[in-house]
Amino acid sequence: MLNAAGFPVVGDSDKCPCTSGDTYGQCCGRFHCGSSVAPTAEALMRSRFSAFVVGNSDYLLSTWLGETAPETLHLDPSVVFYRLDIHSTTAGGPFDDRGSVDFEAFYRVGEHRGSQREHSQFAKAAGRWFYIGEA
C-alpha cells in the first residue's frame, strides 16, 4: 500500500525498514512520531534510512545538523530503498558527543538496482543525535 505521495505505508506492527528485526513501532516509528529520540548514532542512521523508505522528509530535515542541512528536501518515490547494511560504527553511543557509521543502502529505480555506501558523521546536541554529513 502506498500513501498519497507514492511511498510505502509501514504500520507499527510491520517489520521495520531499517532491517533491525524489530517492528516499526518498536524501532524507527517511535522516533518518526516524536515519542522518543534515537539514543545512538547508529539508531539515528537506521531511523533516517527508514525515513527515506517511507518518504518522511520532515524527519530527515529535523535530524540534520542545522548548518549542514539543506533548506528543502525532495524525495523521489521512484527510488525504492529496500535494505540497509551497517558495516561499522565508531563511538556514537549514549555517552558520546560524536560518532560515525559506515553503511550501505540498497535501492532500486524501476529495473535498475544499486547501492550507496557512505561513512556518515553524527554529533549530539542538547541530548539529541544529528546527522552532519559524509566523512
CATH of residue 45's domain is 3.10.450.50
Burial class (CB in 10 A: 0-12, 13-18, 19+), 69: middle
Contacts of 112 (CB under 8 A, 6+ apart): none
Domain count, the chain: 1
Whether 49 maps to a domain, the answer reads yes
In the chain, at which residue ranges do the beta strands (DSSP E only) sit? Answer: 79-91, 98-109, 112-125, 128-134
Whether 57 maps to a domain, the answer reads yes
- Any idea what DSSP says for residue 67? G
Place of cell 510505502: 8
Whether 81 maps to a domain, the answer reads yes
112-125 vs 79-91, strand pairing mode: unpaired
Whether 4 maps to a domain, the answer reads no
- Domain holding 117, by residue range, is 28-134
Render pLDDT for 1-39 as a digit per residue (tens, 0 to 9). Answer: 889 899 999 999 999 999 999 999 999 999 999 999 999
Whether 115 maps to a domain, the answer reads yes
**What is the Cα–Cα distance from 51 to 53, expressed in whole angstroms?**
5
135 residues of the chain, pLDDT tens digit each: 889 899 999 999 999 999 999 999 999 999 999 999 999 999 999 999 999 999 999 999 999 998 899 999 999 999 999 999 999 999 999 999 999 999 999 999 999 999 999 999 999 999 999 999 998
Whether 96 maps to a domain, the answer reads yes
Whether 19 maps to a domain, the answer reads no
Q: Which of 42, 43, 28, 38 is nearest to 101 (CA)?
A: 42
Whether 5 maps to a domain, the answer reads no
